Chains A and B, each alone.
Chain A
Amino acid sequence: MEKNEGLLVRRIREGVVIDHIPAGRALYVLKLLGITGREGYRIALVMNVESRKLGKKDIVKIEGRFLKPEEYNKIALIAPTATVNIVKDYHVVKKDKVVLPEVIEGIIVCPNPTCISRKPGEPIASKFKRLSDKPLRLQCMYCGAIVEEEDILKSIVEGSL
């Protein structure tokens, strides 16, 4: 984390700091994690601050909460540059880069309305394979539909998760 960030928000005692989120996407990260603000976590959100790596970036700090493995995958979808810092007793004890897996299950909704993964009443999760990272392109393993980065963000923003 850059020094000047310390001026904005104080350090957390125990929890997670998601750093290097592409500028403007911190709210989507919270949404992906299912955090509405009503859970009672102390959360700090920093948006559009300077970053040596990215130019500008967002940061999310959540006190008292850690990430499940599948949540790393979810974050990788919209914030592939993110680093996840695990904080215990005011110290970063673990630092991980998020990695998008080859197969992404159950996170995004297939845009094709006649894809079997969207058939009402079926016990089925969507399943996408990664075609490319930059730009992000995924392909539905059921119907073959190709989704671009924009569609993925849209799917997340519109809450169809």
Chain B
Amino acid sequence: MWKNRDVISILDFSREDLEYLFEAADKIYEYLISSSVPRLLEGKVVSLAFFEPSTRTRLSFEVAAKRLGAITIGFSGEEGISVAKGESFADTIRMLDAYSDLIIVRHRYEGAALYAAEIAKVPVINAGDGKQHHPTQAMIDLYTVKRLYGHIDGLVYGVLGDLRYSRAASSFILALTRFSPEKLYLISPKLLRAREEVKMVLRQAGIVFEEVESLEEVIHELDVLYVVRIQRERFPDPQEYEKVKGSYRVTLSLLEKRAKPTLKILHPLPKVDEVEPRVDNSRFAAYFYQAKLGIPLRMALLALILRGEV
């Protein structure tokens, strides 16, 4: 059910698909711990087409591919490739399609990954398209919750920050519609509320959600707090950014005073100043663990797409 699939939006996947992926990731996690990773992708070539600069996502995909024995080719940023000479996105994708077995693509335009998948014969994984989707991040996020709590259903979730421009936040919110959260709080300044097309999916899925402006109001109810930074680079108007920057901050004193002791904070990283550094070493912080799980999850994903099994 996974072989040769494109990964464009988290909504392309059912609950069963995701649970199968998480089981595969658990298996890989064990291989990693026992240093016995099978070279499942020996002889495969994976393209990393990062038209938009990336550190974390690109490196984690690269490590995931190489750990399984694949070769990686690619670039990060448009300088130094033919796009800088005026080559179309479509032509670059055609070239990578001819050179490799799978293309991982990130681009600042929304819909770029879907367009790439229409052009390429090999499977395409969306590693972020503008402000729209970041499905593999959402897979990692849910997998983290699963490993922390043993289940994804029945928990109270808060998503805090730039819900309008953050693709990680949007994808996480959409991913929750595949499960049965008890409640979802969308916490943001009015200007940065989730986009209509995202809320439309929540309503269709019957998810109980509420849009609030203050974290203080709801923090005592939360089991999972998902924090994203304000996406400065996606603001069409810098003045709008000035109005909302620093409009929320998660501090250790707030957490200790008001949060459930079992609350876990997730963050797709990089974080800037929305989480006080003192939180990093507290029992609440789960974001470094979440980043670590990116490797087994992405390894499982690559293996399932290129081989159909782990």
Contacts and interface: CB of A to CB of B under 8 A. Distances in A.
Interface string A56-87: 00000000000000000000000000000000
A141 B110 contact: no
Interface in B87-119: 88-90, 107-112, 114-115
Nearest to A110: B111
14 contacts: A114-B110, A114-B130, A117-B111, A117-B115, A119-B89, A122-B90, A123-B90, A139-B197, A140-B111, A143-B110, A144-B110, A144-B111, A144-B197, A145-B110
A88 B284 CA distance: 77
Interface of B: 86, 88-90, 107-112, 114-115, 129-132, 195-197, 200
A31 B127 CA distance: 40
Nearest to A137: B200
A100 interface: no
A87 to B, nearest CB: 40
A112 interface: yes
B90 A114 contact: no
A136 to B, nearest CB: 16
A144 B132 contact: yes
Contact of A143 (B132, B196, B200): B132
Interface string A120-146: 011110000000000000011111111
Nearest to A119: B109
Interface residues of A, number: 18
B115 A114 contact: no
Interface of A, secondary structure class, is loop
B199 to A, nearest CB: 11
Contact of A146 (B109, B131, B132, B196): B196
A144 to B, nearest CB: 4
Interface of B, secondary structure class, is mixed
A116 B115 contact: yes
A142 B90 contact: no
Interface of A: 112, 114-117, 119, 121-124, 139-146
Contact of A121 (B86, B110, B200): B86
B88 A142 contact: no
A142 B110 contact: yes
Contacts of B112: 116, 119
A140 B110 CA distance: 10
A116 B196 contact: no
A115 B111 contact: yes
Contacts of A124: 90, 115
Contacts of A117: 111, 115
Contacts of B196: 146
Contacts of B89: 116, 119, 122
A115 B109 contact: yes
Nearest to B107: A116
A100 to B, nearest CB: 20
A122 B200 CA distance: 30
Contacts of A114: 108-110, 130-131
Given A116-B109, A146-B197, 5 more contacts: A114-B130, A116-B129, A117-B111, A122-B88, A122-B90
